[in-house]
């Protein structure tokens, strides 16, 4: 029986794991190690209401004052190495913690542009500290250039626009969001920028950033020079898994796990944004980077660690995004080659529901300002049956 469990990463998935441990009647010690000095907080508002000032840092708290999980929090502490054979987690500063179970929930960090660290007002957005700095920079006004028209880039563009900045978004791909939504629907979402007076330049990669100690301009590969007072680099995230080197865990675009967070090592599970988990919807390992996944998967990972059956089958993947007062919601899994058609509303009105199909079967649904209808469709999407079991390849 497990007596001492370490949760590494004290954010959404880490907190959900602590709650799940107690819910699943684990009575031993829990120690939660988090690199950030903040108590667990919610990230989605960082690019939305927090950026515009519509909510404060206090509103972001994920924990509940009334709740006593009996967790020893080690915040502001980074784990540097995992040695599963010795059952130890090594911390920056040299301390070694002995445990008999480990939940890896170290999430992801924003990808950066190389050689730009010296330029003031070139920002990324992943943490509360990032958001505070970005908001401060935006309150200075002027011209914002967003590099990358993904969800976070689009949300920051929208927020900055509402704060009165002059905003340009640059995207290397011909169509933004083509990965998650497909080119057709990506293009529909991209119209939102133009609706609100934000310039969108697509198909042209960034060649470099100009400036000596402050950013002055973003230079594109076609020679375009975009003067800038602030730059937000929104080019995706990468998993925080370097500290697991030498642990024996399989790492491939994240910690490789089965659907329920189990790794090749019986005493270690991984969950949330750091895990590349087998998805019955995709039929392969996917590193989901969605809030709902990081909230729900830890219960399954905890069951795996405790040797219990998963509490419930994996839910249909889901995420949302809020841009320019428009709510975008997506559920399911889209593959290249799926067809998409509008089943309700009108993209021109920025209110519609689109259905993705494969071999005539619905596989995903996208809603823009259609929460009610979207919810109905989302509930109808089911995992392909029978759910294939993951093939784990421990190394």
Ligand X SMILES: Cc1cc2nc3c(=O)[nH]c(=O)nc-3n(C[C@H](O)[C@H](O)[C@H](O)COP(=O)(O)OP(=O)(O)OC[C@H]3O[C@@H](n4cnc5c(N)ncnc54)[C@H](O)[C@@H]3O)c2cc1C
Chain residues that interact with ligand X, rule: CB under 6 A:
8-14, 33-36, 43-44, 46-47, 78-79, 105-108, 125-126, 152, 240, 243, 272-273, 289-292, 294, 319-321
| Burial degree of 32 (CB within 10 A; 0-12, 13-18, 19+) | buried
Longest Cα separation, the chain: 63
Q: How far is the CB of 212 from ligand X (least distance, A)?
A: 29
Is the alpha carbon torsion for 151, 154, 159, 162 positive or negative? Answer: negative
Q: How far is the CB of 290 from another protein (least distance, A)?
A: 11
Token pair, residue 141, equals 């006004």
Binding at 133: pick from another protein, ligand X, none (beta carbon under 5-8 Å per type): none
CA distances from 178 to 175, 190, 196, 267 (A): 6, 10, 21, 38
Binding at 174: pick from ligand X, another protein, none (beta carbon under 5-8 Å per type): none
Contact 302, 313 (CB under 8 A): no
Toward another protein, which CB reaches closer, 320 or 324? 320
Toward another protein, which CB reaches closer, 24 or 238? 24
Q: Looking only at residues 273 through 302 of this chain, which bind another protein when binding is defined by CB under 8 A?
A: 291-292, 295
Binding at 9: pick from another protein, ligand X, none (beta carbon under 5-8 Å per type): ligand X
Does 45 contact another protein by CB under 8 A? yes
| Burial degree of 386 (CB within 10 A; 0-12, 13-18, 19+) | exposed
Q: How far is the CB of 275 from another protein (least distance, A)?
A: 20
172 closest CA partner among 200, 212, 198, 210: 200
Q: How far is the CB of 372 from another protein (least distance, A)?
A: 4
Q: How far is the CB of 318 from ligand X (least distance, A)?
A: 7
Q: How far is the CB of 375 from another protein (least distance, A)?
A: 5
Does 136 contact another protein by CB under 8 A? no
Q: Looking only at residues 76 through 135 of this chain, which bind another protein when binding is defined by CB under 8 A?
A: none
| Burial degree of 199 (CB within 10 A; 0-12, 13-18, 19+) | middle
Does 374 contact another protein by CB under 8 A? yes
Q: Looking only at residues 221 through 250 of this chain, which bind another protein when binding is defined by CB under 8 A?
A: none
Q: How far is the CB of 325 from another protein (least distance, A)?
A: 10
269 closest CA partner among 24, 35, 101, 100: 101
Q: Which of 375, 380, 382, 389 binds another protein (CB under 8 A)?
A: 375
Q: What is the helix (H) or strand (E) element at residue 162, kind and residue range?
A: helix 151-162
CB burial readout 94-132, b (16+ within 10 A) else e: eeebebebbbbbbbbbbeebeebeebebbbbbbbbebbe
32 closest CA partner among 14, 58, 51: 14
> Of 112-120, 235-243, 275-283, 374-382, which segment contacts another protein by CB under 8 A?
374-382
| Burial degree of 49 (CB within 10 A; 0-12, 13-18, 19+) | middle
Q: Which of 27, 64, 95, 346 binds another protein (CB under 8 A)?
A: 64
Does 53 contact another protein by CB under 8 A? no
Query: DSSP label at 106?
Result: -
Toward another protein, which CB reaches closer, 45 or 261? 45
65 closest CA partner among 39, 31, 91: 39
Does 371 contact another protein by CB under 8 A? yes
Binding at 331: pick from another protein, ligand X, none (beta carbon under 5-8 Å per type): none
CB burial readout 258-297, b (16+ within 10 A) else e: bbbbbbbbeebbbbbbbbbbbbbbeeebbbbbbbbbbbbb
Q: Which of 62, 69, 183, 207 binds another protein (CB under 8 A)?
A: 62
> Of 77-85, 250-258, 279-287, 375-383, which segment contacts another protein by CB under 8 A?
375-383
CA distances from 226 to 111, 165, 218, 255, 363 (A): 21, 14, 5, 39, 40
Does 320 contact another protein by CB under 8 A? yes
Toward another protein, which CB reaches closer, 40 or 84? 40
Positions in the binding site for another protein (CB under 8 A) = 45, 49, 62, 64, 291-292, 295, 320, 327, 329, 371-372, 374-376, 379
């Amino acid at each position: 029986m497990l007596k001492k469990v370490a949760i590494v990463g004290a954010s959404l998935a880490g907190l959900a794991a602590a709650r799940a441990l107690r819910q699943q009647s684990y009575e031993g010690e829990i120690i939660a190690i988090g690199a950030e000095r903040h108590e667990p907080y919610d990230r989605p508002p960082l690019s939305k209401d927090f950026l515009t000032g519509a909510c404060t840092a206090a509103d972001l708290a994920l924990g509940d004052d009334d709740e006593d999980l009996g967790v020893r929090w080690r915040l502001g502490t980074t784990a540097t190495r995992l040695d599963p054979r010795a059952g130890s987690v090594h911390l920056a500063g040299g301390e070694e913690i002995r445990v008999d179970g480990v939940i890896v929930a170290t999430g992801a960090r924003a990808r950066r542009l190389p050689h730009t660290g010296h330029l003031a007002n070139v920002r990324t957005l992943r943490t509360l500290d990032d958001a505070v700095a970005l908001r401060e920079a935006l309150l200075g006004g002027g011209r914002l250039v967003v590099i990358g028209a993904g969800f976070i880039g689009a949300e920051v563009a929208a927020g900055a626009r509402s704060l009165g900045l002059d905003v340009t978004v640059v995207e290397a791909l011909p169509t933004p969001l083509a990965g998650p939504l497909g080119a057709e629907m990506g293009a529909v979402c991209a119209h939102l920028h133009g609706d609100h007076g934000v310039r969108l330049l697509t198909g042209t990669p960034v060649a470099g950033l100009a400036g000596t100690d402050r950013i002055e301009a973003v230079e594109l590969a076609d020679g375009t020079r975009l003067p800038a007072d602030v730059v937000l680099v929104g080019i995706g995230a990468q998993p925080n898994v370097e500290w697991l080197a030498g642990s024996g865990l399989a790492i491939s675009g994240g910690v490789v796990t089965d659907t329920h967070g189990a790794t090749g090592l019986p005493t270690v599970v991984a969950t949330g944004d750091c895990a590349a988990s087998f998805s019955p919807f995709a039929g392969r390992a996917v590193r989901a980077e969605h809030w709902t996944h990081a909230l729900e998967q830890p219960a399954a990972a905890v069951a795996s660690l405790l040797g219990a059956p998963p509490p419930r089958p994996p839910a249909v993947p889901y995420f949302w995004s809020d841009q320019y007062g428009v709510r975008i919601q997506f559920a399911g899994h889209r593959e290249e080659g799926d067809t998409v058609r509008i089943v309700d509303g009108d993209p021109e009105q920025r209110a519609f529901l689109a259905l993705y199909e494969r071999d005539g079967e619905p596989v995903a649904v996208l809603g823009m300002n259609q929460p009610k209808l979207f919810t109905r469709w989302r509930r109808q999407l089911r995992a392909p049956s029978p759910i294939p079991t993951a093939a784990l390849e421990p190394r």
